[in-house]
Amino acid sequence: MTNADAATAASILTIDLDALVANWRLCAAQAGVEAAAVLKADAYGTGAARVGPALAAAGCTRFFVAHIDEGLALRAALAQVLPEAEIGILNGFMRGTRRLLIEERLAPVLNDEGEVREWLAISADLGQPAPAYLHIDTGMNRLGLALADLTNLAASPEMRRHPWRGLISHFACADEPGHPLTELQAGRFRQAAALLPGTPLSLSASSGIFLSPDYSLSFVRPGAALYGINPQPSRPNPMAPVVRLEAKILQIRDIDANESVGYGAAHVARRPTRVATIAAGYADGYPRSAGARGSAWAGETALPILGRISMDLITLDASDARTLRRGDMVELLGPHRPVDQLAEDAGTNGYEILTRLGTRYQRRYIGRSAATGA
């Protein structure tokens, strides 16, 4: 537990670090090669300062984040458990960050030809190769070197001599089995790899790992799957649930048929209804777009969501849960309502649900792995 105690908690976010570690092991087993771990956006909202040490204690040695600031925070969090951890910065190297990157041994993922040339100049200046990755864009057209850029660069001996920590690329459609872009990207990646023989290669993130081991190469880079998101939405989810969100019932009231509930009178009761109002809302990252969709859960009883989601409150149909009392907790996310289900109800994906979870919840880390980094 991090702050205050259960009595003061309006809502509790529980993160099961053993489940997370098990998911990382499953990714590595499925891929058959080293699994790095992607902890950008504060470990997809679950708390990099706790997730990093738990994974390091389990044997993970390579991590990726998006921003340099995230890398610095992770370096500090890993100082006791694994000071030599490799931390890659996906967003690359920006002017004015050289000293920090070198001192804190953060390895930028270089995305741009100019960026690569600057990094080679820095290495020449230091008299030793500064650690970095290369990112080649094979069809996402978002971030990364074009194949032509890499071809230009590979003409220089310093480029070919540099011991790159890895050459990576990222799939656009690996969550859709059979999508033609995946093989096209893999083919372009093989062409790029041929320009820098001996460089470790990495192509798959969560979806790629569970699409095919053909894309495992030297190491894989799971993010979403670690946190329990289904890497292949068209198949049953092999990942263990990591996040559980519960909120406290603030009030229970009985309303007559034809009474309305909440803003916009958006829900009108068809029958006499017991309404439970709970302490969570869109200010906590519960999506407003999931109003009137899906259910919260009290044990095995579904409590359908009634009407609109308010800033701090959600209203539930508790007619079938007569034993519920003010102060009881109900489940909004967890084994009965997986992240992917809430995402579907909200018209988004699990990534957005997790990364928007607010800071208002009381956070608890459970599992034996929670002993590290506490």
Ligand X SMILES: *Cc1c(COP(=O)(O)O)cnc(C)c1O
- Binding positions for ligand X, rule: CB under 6 A: 38, 40, 90, 170, 205-207, 221-225
- In this complex, which beta carbon is closest to ligand X, that of residue 136 or of residue 296? 136
Output the residue with the shortest Cβ distance to ligand X: 223
Q: Which of 40, 215, 227, 286 is catalytic?
A: 40
For 78, what's the count of Cα atoms within 13 Å in the CB-facing half-sphere? 29
Q: Cβ 60 to ligand X, closest distance in Å?
A: 14
Question: Which CB atom, from 328 or from 352, has the smaller least distance to ligand X?
Answer: 352
What whole-number distance in Å separates Cα of residue 294 and Cα of residue 247?
16
Least CB distance from residue 30 to ligand X, whole Å? 12
Rounded to a whole number of angstroms, the minimum distance from the CB of residue 38 to ligand X is 4
Rounded distance between C-alpha atoms, residue 237 and residue 333, angstroms: 15
Q: What's the closest the beta carbon of residue 367 comes to ligand X, in angstroms?
A: 21
- The catalytic residue among 44, 263, 282, 365 is 263
311 within 8 A of 358, measured Cβ to Cβ: no
In angstroms, how far is the first alpha carbon of the chain from the final one? Answer: 9
- CB-wise, 221 or 363, nearer to ligand X? 221
Residue (34 or 259) nearer to ligand X, CB: 34
Structure tokens at 240: 């263990």
Contacts of 69 (CB under 8 A, 6+ apart): none
| Degrees, nearest 5: CA angle 238-39-116 | 120
Return d(Cα 214, Cα 208) in angstroms, integer: 9
Q: Quick check: is 263 catalytic?
A: yes
Q: How far is the CB of 182 from ligand X (least distance, A)?
A: 14
Q: Helix or strand or coil: residue 273? A: strand
C-alpha R_g of the chain? 23
Q: What token pair was written down for 121?
A: 């100049």
Residue number with CB closer to ligand X (223 or 307) = 223
Tell me the C-alpha distance between 317 and 301, whole Å.
Answer: 11
CB of 231 to ligand X, least distance (A): 7
The distance of Cα 341 from the centroid of its chain, to the nearest Å, equals 16
Closer residue to ligand X, CB minimum distance, 138 or 277: 138
Q: CA–CA distance from 31 to each of 45, 185, 208, 230, 351 (Å)?
A: 25, 18, 9, 16, 21
Provide the annotated active-site residues. Answer: 40, 263
